[in-house]
Amino acid sequence: MEMKKVMVIGAGQMGAGIAQVFAMAGYEVKLQDLQEAFLQRGMKTIEKNLNRQVEKGKLSGEERDQTLSRLHPTVEVEAVKDVDLVVEAIVENMDVKTKLFAKLDELAPEHTILASNTSSLPITEIAAATKRPEQVIGMHFMNPVPVMKLVEIIRGLATSEEVYQVIYETTKVLNKVPVEVNDFPGFVSNRILMPMINEAIYTLYEGVATKEAIDDVMKLGMNHPMGPLTLADFIGLDTCLYIMETLHEGFGDDKYRPCPLLRKYVKAGWLGKKTGRGFYVYE
């Protein structure tokens, strides 16, 4: 099974990063989203990242131009008709994802592997929306994608060994480190990370300390590169809430109950850095 043409669906912060690393590794990449404006925003982010690398002398101007020439933005989901691998990076919502996977299953060639960058949702359930569950797999990149080395690889119940091996090897071609995890809510990364973030939000909600103090404690005391509230803003508060809901529902344990303050911010549309306001305000 040779992976040459890739389609990344969703040109948000994850999709743009994923498209960038595939294009840098030499793949032809279609980047799909619902509107031209979202595609332009994603392409602008990629260009900015590549230009920064050129300024730092880590990439030549020619390499940047070649990378950009391998990226093909489109609003047409039908563009999946000639790709070998799809990596889905749309909103963290099971209904929306299963509808998309059912459509991709109809349109994509028989051999195409359908991977999801979901942060927490069961791969087995996403796979069940298709007639090719053995070719559906989790490929969970970390944010910011061009920087972070880890990719969690999640097998659904039906994922074939061959598909697992192809995705494992493809991850290495991207210069990332694949780590195999089982299909449980939140996998490993978000089962551990997100309750910590949720607890930090409870700590703020209960008035234990200011947001700055909470972040300083974890940065200066535990050497985390970002405090948990800054990290929540960076990930997106909508995504954090979806992940906590998946953990809460999936395990049925109240220790995963999303903090009411998190719900309130999401209802207000304060989704973090991407909307200019979350726990902090961004210019």
Residues that bind ligand NAD in the complex, under the rule CB under 6 A: 9-15, 32-34, 38, 89-92, 96, 100, 117-119, 141, 143, 235-236, 239, 274
Counting Cβ atoms within 10 Å, is residue 234 exposed (0-12), middle (13-18) or buried (19+)? middle
Compute the least distance from the CB of residue 13 to ligand CAA, in Å.
Answer: 8
- Least Å distance, CB 17 to ligand NAD, is 8
Cβ partners under 8 Å of residue 161, min gap 6: none
6 contact, one of ligand CAA, ligand NAD, none, CB 5-8 Å limit per kind: none
Question: 119, 120, 198, 245: which one is catalytic?
Answer: 119
Please tell me the distance from the alpha carbon of residue 10 to that of residue 236, in angstroms, as a whole number: 15
Q: Interface with ligand CAA includes 195 (CB under 6 A)?
A: no
Is the CB of residue 52 less than 8 Å from the CB of residue 36? no
CB of 239 to ligand CAA, least distance (A): 6
In the complex, least distance from residue 18 CB atom to ligand NAD, rounded to whole angstroms: 9
Residue 190 is a catalytic residue: yes
Q: At its nearest, how many Å lie between ligand NAD and the CB of residue 89?
A: 4
218 vs 234: CA distance, rounded Å: 16
Q: Which is nearer to ligand CAA, 181 or 226 (CB)?
A: 226
Q: Which is nearer to ligand NAD, 54 or 107 (CB)?
A: 107
119 is catalytic: yes
Of 267, 273, 270, which Cα lies nearest the Cα of 12?
Answer: 273
What CA–CA distance (Å, rounded) separates 280 from 276? 8
Exposed, middle or buried: residue 61 (CB in 10 Å: 0-12, 13-18, 19+)? exposed
Nearest Cα residue to 169 out of 46, 85, 81: 85
Q: Does 189 bind ligand CAA (CB under 6 A)?
A: yes
Please choose which of ligand CAA, ligand NAD, none residue 21 contacts, taking the beta carbon within 5 to 8 angstroms, the exact cut-off set by kind.
none
Among 4, 44, 58, 81, binds ligand CAA (CB under 6 A): 58
How do 71-74 and 85-88 pair as beta strands?
unpaired
Residue bearing tokens 């192809």:
166
Which parts of this chain interact with ligand CAA (CB under 6 A)? Answer: 49, 52, 56, 58, 119, 142-144, 146-148, 189-190, 193, 225-226, 231, 235
Q: Which residues are catalytic?
A: 119, 140, 152, 190
